[in-house]
């Protein structure tokens, strides 16, 4: 049976309340539950998600050191979430910038992506995916390189309210 999607991620964080505030206030996640039998835990759901939860946060305390994955240890680089439109990506770019969390923005040709870090330095990506019917040879050939993201140029090319491709990075089979 093939895997079809990521259902949820569990993150170890220093302070669960601080992380809940970040994910709810900046990214719009909803709190489904905090604490209970699992003290220092919270479960959040992304807007528009039908998952039971999309993130589980488990507090390990302020003494926890920073992640060294990718520098000194193997580990997860980042999680990526999708947004529906380039307007939404642009809105999140400003929110992340204002929060001091935006780490970069890239045009991968088939995806337009923001990279950010939560209060514990855990990196994540927010992406708009070019719809399959807009993928042509020039877009597909562009995947070989990464360019800086120009959201205004992408809006001019694809439309600011065009629905993204929802996980599609290949044209549909004919």
Fold of 79-158: 3.30.720
- What are the sequence ranges of the domains in the chain? 9-59, 79-158
- pLDDT at site 138: 75
Q: What is the pLDDT of residue 132?
A: 85
For residue range 125-156, what is the model confidence (pLDDT) as tens digits?
Answer: 999 999 988 887 777 776 778 999 999 999 99
pLDDT for position 37:
67
Among residues 126, 131, 124, the alpha carbon closest in space to that of 157 is found at 131
CB-count exposure of residue 2 (10 Å: 0-12, 13-18, 19+): exposed
Residue 20: partners with Cβ closer than 8 Å, 6 or more residues away: 31, 34, 42, 44, 57
Residues of the chain with pLDDT under 70: 1, 36-38, 142, 167-174
Residue 70's pLDDT is what?
A: 87
* pLDDT on residue 130: 93
Confirm whether 9-59 and 79-158 share one CATH topology: no
Give the up-direction half-sphere exposure of residue 87: CA atoms within 13 A in the CB hemisphere: 5
Contact 100, 54 (CB under 8 A): no
At residue 63, the pLDDT reads 93
pLDDT at 68: 87
For domain 9-59, give the fold: 2,3-Dihydroxybiphenyl 1,2-Dioxygenase; domain 1 (3.10.180)
């Amino acid at each position: 049976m093939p895997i079809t999607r990521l259902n949820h991620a569990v993150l170890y964080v220093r302070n669960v309340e601080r992380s809940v505030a970040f994910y709810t206030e900046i990214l719009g996640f909803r709190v489904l539950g905090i604490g209970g039998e699992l003290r220092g835990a919270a479960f959040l759901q992304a807007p528009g998600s039908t998952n039971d939860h999309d993130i589980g946060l488990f507090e390990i305390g302020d003494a926890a050191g920073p992640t060294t994955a990718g520098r000194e240890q193997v580990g997860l680089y980042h999680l990526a979430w999708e947004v529906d439109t380039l307007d939404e990506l642009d809105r999140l770019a400003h929110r992340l910038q204002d929060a001091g969390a935006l780490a970069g923005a890239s045009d991968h040709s088939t995806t337009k992506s923001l990279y950010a870090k939560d209060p514990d330095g855990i990196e994540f990506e927010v992406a708009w995916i070019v719809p399959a019917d807009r993928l042509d040879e020039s877009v597909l050939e562009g995947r070989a390189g990464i360019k800086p993201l120009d959201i205004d140029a992408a809006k001019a090319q694809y439309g600011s309210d065009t629905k993204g491709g929802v996980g599609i990075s290949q044209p549909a089979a004919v």
